Structure 1
């Protein structure tokens, strides 16, 4: 193991949401977009903690709190909250940190002073059995 296997260890990714991902009216993006980001941050977290990508076992809770829109910059974090023999319980949060402002022009955008929490979840990942 790489030594990061401690509760509270966290990984964060940021990503621009392209307009090609808008799926609904008003440039809305489906909630699965945030869940995809959670899979990515969980993968990096397991690489740090277990030197392996691991496998996602499932979510125990998912909350879609606010919409994700095309043109947003999303920040997704995974925080290790419980360590089992092979399982790792993780809390996830996705936040909008920048949002497009099309009313001011086609490429206008704002850096948000207070990020908007869009999705929260809790899930379990499984690390492979350590080599003996």
Structure 2
């Protein structure tokens, strides 16, 4: 009896259609949120906004608000100030059986200009990446 040689099995996996889903929110940072000199806002402000956009991702992908499990690699790259207009984005980068890994960015797209007048503001020619992070959310098992 001869055994077959060189036989291979190829398994093809279809990429999960949820990978690449991107959700974006925009938020004006009110002056009531400034905690520090120069109208700076604490870093936790961006993390809270990441939680909001992650909730929408979970609703869109799984029909549930989900729960935040962890953050990894949080980087505060530029200041967030009262009067800023932020664009908060979450992108699904990995889908597990119950977990979803998300890449987050908080980008300043507009900024108050109190140096011009109390209510002056402008849209920035070049947006500024303020905060980035990777986060993991969990959702209930599908029934």
Cα distance in structure 1, aligned partners of 2:77 and 2:17 = 30
Distance 2:67 2:113 in 1: 38
> TM-score scaled to structure 1, two decimals?
0.94
Any gaps of 5 or more consecutive residues in structure 2? 1-15
Q: Check the 8 A contact 1:87/1:127 in 2, yes or no.
A: yes
Residue 113 (str. 1) matches residue 125 (str. 2): yes
Aligned partner of 1:37 in structure 2 is 49
Name the structure 1 match of 2:97. 85
3-state secondary structure, aligned to 1:7: coil
Matches within 5 A, 1:1-132: 5-131=17-143
Provide the aligned C-alpha RMSD in A.
1.0
Work out whether residues 38 and 76 of structure 1, in 8 Å CA contact, stay in contact via their aligned partners in 2.
yes
Relative to its length, the structure with more strand (as a share) is 1
Classify 1:76/1:93 alpha carbon distance in 2 versus 1 (closer, same or farther; 3 Å).
Answer: same
In structure 1, the residue matched to 2:6 is none
Quick check: 1:23–1:29 contact (8 Å CA) kept in 2? Answer: yes
* Matches of 2:99 and 2:40, distance apart in 1: 34
TM-score (norm 2): 0.87
User: Cα deviations across residues 23-73 of structure 1 (Å, max 9, x unaligned)?
Assistant: 000100000000000000000000000000001000121000000000001
